[in-house]
Amino acid sequence: MTEILKIEGMGCGGCVTTVTKALVAVPGISDVAVNLDSHEARFELAAPATREQAVKAVEDAGYDVKG
Ligand SMILES: [Cu+2]
């Protein structure tokens, strides 16, 4: 299932890398694509990952998830 998170606080390519790594590290999340201009992370979510885990991973990396 494709999920999209709206992320606040990303300002450069380093942020994109940080968010991408945080999401990829969650078992069950794959095909992560983070877009700096649209402030979106798009990825495939499969068990055992949950959307809540994806949100937490991004927040733990230091960014706010707005939806
Ligand atoms: Cu940055």
In the reported structure, the alpha carbon of residue 10 is separated from the centroid of ligand 1 by a whole-number distance in angstroms of: 6
Contact in structure between 36 and 13 (CB atoms under 8 Å): yes
Per-residue model confidence (pLDDT) at position 67:
86
How far apart are alpha carbons 12 and 26 in whole angstroms?
22
At residue 31, the pLDDT reads 98
Of the options 3.30.70.100, 3.10.450.710, 2.60.120.260, 1.20.1050.10, the CATH number for the domain spanning 2-65: 3.30.70.100
CA angle at 27 for the pair 24 and 31, rounded to the nearest 5°: 40
Residues 3-47 pLDDT 10s? 999 999 999 999 999 999 999 999 999 999 999 999 999 999 999
Confidence of residue 49 (pLDDT cuts 50, 70, 90): very high
Residue 38 CA to ligand 1 center (angstroms) comes to: 14
Domain residue ranges in the chain? 2-65
Q: Give residues with Cβ within 8 angstroms of 18, minimum separation 6.
A: 61, 62, 63
SS3 call for 33:
strand
